[in-house]
Each structure stands twice: as structure tokens, then as C-alpha cells.
Amino acid sequence: QVQVVESGGGLVQPGESLRLSCTVSGIAFSTYAMNWYRQAPGNQRAWVASINPSGSVTNYVDNVKGRFTISRDNAKNTVYLQMNNLKPEDTAVYYCQAVYWQTYWGQGTRVTVSP
């Protein structure tokens, strides 16, 4: 059984940082590309960042470039999203996605950025 579990969300003030984690079990993690998505209230789910299976290639949506960093530890079956200089518009539920020949989603972790 595949499990995708996000953690690390919370309430922070603008300018602060959070690190999200996503741990996956039940798949050959190191063969999967990993993505982070987010869904703000009233909006559709949107792609935020991706990392290839080896961790050598990363990509970001423009409005998080320079603030967010995606990384992975294949020995721990975990992908991370380091989020710095958070802004109120980063408020959303953040979802982890594993992609290879099948796609798996986590349940999400909520991030709220508010003064």
C-alpha cells in the first residue's frame, strides 16, 4: 500500500520560514519524480516545484523562485520544500505528488501566512 504523508505546515508571519516534508512508502521512491502543489482557498490546485528522481534537476513556478527550495533524500524516501520569506499569498494547502508510471498524492499540509 502506497502512503504519501506531508508534514511541517503551520501558521507563520510574513517573512518567516517553514520546511515541509513528504515521506513516501510502498514505492521505489528513487525512481519517482516528486512535485509540490498548493491550493489556496477558492483556487485550483497549482504546481509549485518539481525535482527529478536523482535530485539533480529542479524547477519552480516563477512566484516562488529564489524563496523556495525543493530537495530530496532518497535514503529516507523523503522530499522537502524549504520555504523562506513567506508571504500571505503563499497561504494554501500544500500537496506532495509522486510521479512515475503511476501518480500518488498526499493529503496535504496547511500553511497559513498571516501577520
Q: List, for residues 3-29, the tens digit of each pLDDT value.
A: 999 999 999 999 999 999 999 999 999
Q: Render pLDDT for 31-56 as a digit per residue (tens, 0 to 9).
A: 999 999 999 999 999 999 999 999 99
pLDDT score of 13:
98
Q: Which of 83, 84, 92 is nearest to 112 (CA)?
A: 92
pLDDT score of 50:
98
Q: Render pLDDT for 66-92 as a digit per residue (tens, 0 to 9).
A: 999 999 999 999 999 999 999 999 999
Question: Could you tell me where the beta strands, DSSP code E, fall in 1-115?
Answer: 3-7, 10-12, 18-25, 33-39, 46-51, 58-60, 68-73, 78-83, 92-99, 103-105, 109-113
